[in-house]
Amino acid sequence: MDNRVGFIGLGVMGISMASRLIDAGYDLYVYNRTKAKADAVVAKGAHWCGSPRIVAENASVVFTIVGFPKDVEGVYLGSDGLIEGARDGSILVDMTTTKPSLETAIAARLAEKGVKFADAPVSGGDRGAREGTLSIMVGCDDDVFPVLLPFFKAMGSNITHLGPVGSGQHTKMANQIVIAGTMAGVSEALVYGAKAGLDLEKMVSTISKGAAGCWTLDNLAPRVLRGDFEPGFMVDHFIKDMTIAVEESDAMGLSLPSLALTRELYKAVKAQGCGRNGTQVLVKALETLSGGGIL
């Protein structure tokens, strides 16, 4: 592959991931639905493109990280989408968290043009994107993974090839199921500790060193204590992820009650107008259930 790389989706995660590719020496071609969000990477030397098609015409490897399944479908298969500009031998990589079935359908369509495809959702939040420590869960053909590995290393530190296209998304669903339960547990612990009159900073520091230790306690609990509910990962997007996980579970005949309950709690947070806050805002829904005024 040559040095020209495409990147589509410059939101909370994508802007840092794209910036790290520039820092790694790649010649970046970018597109975002809101052009102003590209200003920071264009200032670093990225080339603005007016559509996904133009990105694909200029870059032999293209990464995407957008919002919802309909956004993924539009970027890849729309009238001015990547499929219109991708060339034989190109590799397109979707890092959005989306439906596994959508990824396999896109891969099939691209294969008709001789274009390779990988799904590679990520975990690690805005901090992981900034610091290049993302976990990247990759589904692709065996011969595609070694080609993509240098690019992934610019964005993440835990990179795993999990199987064919769709495997990355299924792994991300497992990841989100764990996060859903953990976020609920951490939020309940904060509400409980506050009601009990504990020093919450000391409590968090103490329990994070024992069996309760986890990424959520280390990274999101301190944000709650600062009153910082800005998104590392938005509630709207997490509800989307949990909905996909519920639908996939239903299709497999599984019952995952903890996941279903946590999704309902997040729907309550969204109903309070917090859909664009970070997932740590769940504590507000639990406060409301407890009568409020705890944190």
Domain range list for the chain: 4-164, 170-289
Q: Which residue has the higher pLDDT, 291 or 236?
A: 236
Any idea which residue has 């990477």 for tokens? 41
- In terms of Cα–Cα distance, which of 281, 283, 262 is closest to 273? 281
Domain 4-164: CATH superfamily is NAD(P)-binding Rossmann-like Domain (3.40.50.720)
With contact defined as beta carbons under 8 Å apart, do 179 and 216 qualify?
A: yes
Q: What confidence tens digit (pLDDT) does each residue in 101-138 have?
A: 999 999 999 999 999 999 999 999 899 999 999 999 99
With contact defined as beta carbons under 8 Å apart, do 130 and 77 qualify?
A: no
- In terms of Cα–Cα distance, which of 13, 48, 56 is closest to 31? 48
Could you tell me the pLDDT band of residue 167, with boundaries at 50, 70 and 90?
Answer: very high
Mean predicted lDDT score pLDDT of the chain: 96
Helices (H) and strands (E) in the chain — how many of each?
Answer: 15, 9
Give the whole-angstrom CA distance, residue 40 versus residue 38: 6
Identity of the residue numbered 66: V
Residue 292 phi, psi (nearest 5): 80, 170
- Judge if 4-164 and 170-289 fold alike in CATH terms: no
Percent of the chain with pLDDT over 90: 93
Whether the pLDDT of residue 1 is over 80: the answer is: no
Whether the pLDDT of residue 292 is over 90: the answer is: no
The length of the chain is 295
Could you tell me the pLDDT band of residue 2, with boundaries at 50, 70 and 90?
Answer: confident
- In terms of Cα–Cα distance, which of 212, 268, 215, 200 is closest to 239? 268
Task: Give catalytic residue positions.
Answer: 172
**CB-based contacts of 225: which residues, under 8 Å, 6+ apart?**
190, 200, 201, 204, 295
CB count in 10 Å sphere of residue 82 = 30
Q: What angle, 0 to 180 degrees and rounded to 10, lies between the N-to-C axes of helices 167-195 and 100-111?
A: 150
Could you tell me the pLDDT band of residue 285, with boundaries at 50, 70 and 90?
Answer: confident
Class of domain 170-289: mainly alpha
Give the whole-angstrom CA distance, residue 233 versus residue 131: 16
CB count in 10 Å sphere of residue 89 = 11
- Which token pair is 25? 């020496």
Could you tell me the pLDDT band of residue 177, with boundaries at 50, 70 and 90?
Answer: very high
Q: Is 175 helix (H, G, I), strand (E, B) or coil?
A: helix
